[in-house]
Amino acid sequence: MYAYDELDRTLINERVSEFRDQVKRRLSGELTEDEFKMLRLQNGVYLQLHAYMFRVAIPYGTLSSEQLRRLAHVARKYDRGYGHFTTRQNIQFNWIKLAELPDALADLADVGIHAMQTSGNNTRNVTSDQWAGVAPGEIEDPRIWSELLRQYTTLHPEFSFLPRKFKFAITASEHDRAAIKVHDIGLRLYKNAAGETGFEVLVGGGLGRTPFIGKTIKQFVHGHDLLSYVEAILRVYNQYGRRDNIYKARIKILVHELGIEKFAREVEEEWLQMRDSALAIDDAVIEDIRSRFTYPAYEQLPHMPDELKKAAHDPHFEAWRKNSTFPHKVPGYAIVVLSLKPVGGPPGDATADQMDAIADLADRYSFGEIRVGHEQNLALPHVARRDLPALWKALDKIGVATPNVNLVSDIIACPGLDYCSLANARSIPIAQELTRRFANHDTANLIGRLHVNISGCINACGHHHVGHIGILGVEKNGEEFYQITVGGRADEKAEVGTLIGPAVPYGEVANVVEDIVEAYLALRARPDELFIDAVKRLGVEPFRERVYATR
């Protein structure tokens, strides 16, 4: 965990008091809605279909139990008793009243959380691997650098009014769980031949109506130069990014229009003029940040304790253990993923009671720490393997032990037309129907790893482009239709999915997904050939045929 100091606390309190003044000026009419809009967005407040929506940042996906309890409190006191975890390590509350927002922010500030820059045309919450610091084989904890970037991007005086939103993601593992290739800046931490820590820097990835996979702008940027290099990218973008058309304003379009070589030259030229400025980070500063991350005092524990051997006779426990627990870098411990995708439920939602219960379980079994992943699930990152049976019982009781992690019913979805004023179509009911169709765990397990992503409009908040099966809601003559893609992925081999054919009506979507899955089961070379690998080998044609032969 990163511990806020007096300076961090002061800054967020100052931000809360500024926002209190802005809300007061809006309510008194001193600020017009047009003026207020940008200011509220920079504090995470959207105007949705029914009410204001409030988005709170969970930087690099790490929460303490105290912070999670406070999120539960906000859900209970200011909202309708639940929150929605998003694909970018944020939580959203959907029913907040404008006049109460400053109080909600002040309550959050008490425990070091905030909503700064969770929307608006600025640098957004810096996201990272939700297993940072505990994943086996990780090069080093990427959250040290995420925190440096969090501070650097917070209230930046030059880059708070960019052409469009701007998102960073960092990974330090070979397997990319942070989707860095679909971010404006993606950072892959590694050590060069001299053993120095640095980053491969990718730029211009993103989804939305024009999806692009990020391109490498520089193969190795030394850790000392990270902030100056990032500042050079942001400065070039701030000056030359398009502002005439909102749909062409992301950095991906600038990179595409200039070409990566020319863009890289512009950045390099800018960077060389300031790499030795006050932005250069020396080792003492890095160590200072590192020293404020605390790590659990792990015990020496057996890999196969008696408790686990005994519980192995329970098939329900075993199904969950095999599906939802993952290797930890410390022997005797496990990473436990909590599925927020119950059968028939909206993906990523948690009630205040669940959040409180999870916070208590984190205190008891995970050194008081919780993680939030872009798949809209939670994780307890430091669970002793001997505690798994007891933890499972407790998780099952509160409904977050569905053994469907990474399976077809572990769906990523945006809020869609049920909440969002931008949406063309509903997402949540599609996800709910799919979880019912694939409720049988044995079937889902037989299918294996399969990511389904649903977006209710072209803005792609459900990341449909990078779903193994992607579902995009569109509107045709006042009716909801859905385009289906296959073959997308968001990891280190990121790719944009391919459309299989004409859009299908709302009522047909679940049938189409079932057809695609059946085609895959019939065509896969071996039981362990994953869906995504089968699509790569076969192309989309067999899936297209299967889906449209009878439609």
Side-by-side strand order, sheet with 197-203 = 127-128, 168-171, 185-191, 197-203, 215-222
Are residues 174 and 137 in contact, defined by beta-carbon separation less than 8 angstroms? yes
Nearer to other proteins, 283 or 299 (CB): 283
Cα 254 to Cα 182, 229, 538: the distances in Å are 15, 17, 34
In the block, residue with structure tokens 């309510």? 27
Instruction: From 349, 420, 426, 416, select the one nearest 84 (Cα to Cα).
Output: 349
Are residues 530 and 466 in contact, defined by beta-carbon separation less than 8 angstroms? no
Are residues 437 and 450 in contact, defined by beta-carbon separation less than 8 angstroms? no
Instruction: From 169, 289, 270, select the one nearest 229 (Cα to Cα).
Output: 270
**Residues of the shown chain interacting with other proteins in the complex, contacts defined by CB under 8 A:** 5, 7-8, 10-11, 14, 17-18, 22, 30, 35, 38-39, 121, 151-152, 154-162, 235, 238-239, 243, 273-274, 277-279, 284-285, 288
Q: CA angle, 300 as apex, 299 and 304 as ends, to 5°?
A: 115
In the block, residue with structure tokens 């076969």? 538
Nearer to other proteins, 222 or 243 (CB): 243
Q: H or E stretch including 471?
A: strand 469-476
Are residues 481 and 475 in contact, defined by beta-carbon separation less than 8 angstroms? yes
- 511-523 burial code (b ≥16 CB/10 A, e <16): ebbebbbebbeee
Fill in the amino acid letter for 156. H
Cα 445 to Cα 320, 448, 518, 528, 536: the distances in Å are 11, 5, 14, 11, 21
Are residues 364 and 327 in contact, defined by beta-carbon separation less than 8 angstroms? no
C-alpha 378/C-alpha 398 separation (Å) is 13
C-alpha 40/C-alpha 54 separation (Å) is 10
How far is CA 508 from its chain centroid? 29
Q: H or E stretch including 235?
A: helix 226-240
Helix axes 388-397, 352-365, angle to 10 degrees: 170
Instruction: From 79, 120, 125, select the one nearest 100 (Cα to Cα).
Output: 79
The answer for 463, left when phi > 0, alpha when psi is -120 to 50, beta otherwise, is: left
Please report how close the Cβ of residue 288 comes to other proteins at its closest, in angstroms: 6
Please report how close the Cβ of residue 190 comes to other proteins at its closest, in angstroms: 24
Number of H helices, E strands in the chain: 18, 21
Instruction: From 146, 186, 179, select the one nearest 60 (Cα to Cα).
Output: 146
C-alpha 343/C-alpha 331 separation (Å) is 33
154 by DSSP, 3-state: which? Answer: coil
Nearer to other proteins, 280 or 523 (CB): 280
Fill in the amino acid letter for 388. L
Please report how close the Cβ of residue 262 comes to other proteins at its closest, in angstroms: 16
